[in-house]
Structure 1
Amino acid sequence: MRLRVECTTEPLDLDQTPPHAVVAREVVRAADLDAVDASPFDNTAEGRSDAVLTAVATPLRSSIDAGAPRVPRVPVQVNVVEEGEA
């Protein structure tokens, strides 16, 4: 099964990308995912379900370890990708 995940790293800082958002972005870029679109705050990726679900947990853990000022609020949406939609 393939999944598509979209997430936003908060809290936002419009003057510069917070360190915890940078870490989250790099985790998503380094994951074993396809079609990664990582920006300073929004990340979208697609891949095998196990890789997507691991990638959802890892940025949270990494953001906290990188010094997020509080447990970051990361709205996440995960969708099943239908055959032929990828």
Structure 2
Amino acid sequence: MKRLRVEFTTEPFDLDEAPEHAVVARDVVQNAALDAVDVGPFGNTAEGPSEQVLAAVTELLRRSLDAGATRVSLQVNVIGEDEE
């Protein structure tokens, strides 16, 4: 099974307080079965098995758009294969 890394941001930005769409997107990846989750004010990353990453990406897109995001930028990279 492939391992993936997703990097994402949501917009619009608010430097004073994290907007609801950003909080929702971060919650999705933090609560998913992913490895190496790193959240920050200007971008977020998470890694894991492809099925879990793709499921989390689908959920974060739906939920962050529903929470008011006007743009979600993301990049998904294959970073290797899980040992079985």
TM-score (normalised: structure 2): 0.85
Corresponding position of 1:54: 55
Provide the alpha-carbon RMSD of the alignment: 1.7
State, as a whole percentage, how many aligned pairs show the same letter. 63
Per-residue displacement from partner, 1:20-75 (whole Å, max 9, x unpaired)? 11111111100110000012452100000011111111112112333x0xx53111
The ranges of structure 1 where at least 4 consecutive aligned residues each deviate by more than 6 angstroms after the TM superposition are: none
Cα distance in 2 for residues equivalent to 1:57 and 1:29: 14
Q: Kindly indicate whether the alpha-carbon contact (under 8 Å) linking 1:21 and 1:40 is maintained by their aligned counterparts in 2.
A: no
Report the count of equivalent residues.
Answer: 81
TM-score (normalised: structure 1): 0.83
Q: Which runs of 5+ in 2 are unaligned?
A: none
Corresponding position of 1:81: 79
Q: Kindly indicate whether the alpha-carbon contact (under 8 Å) linking 1:60 and 1:72 is maintained by their aligned counterparts in 2.
A: no
1:74 is paired with a residue of what secondary structure? strand
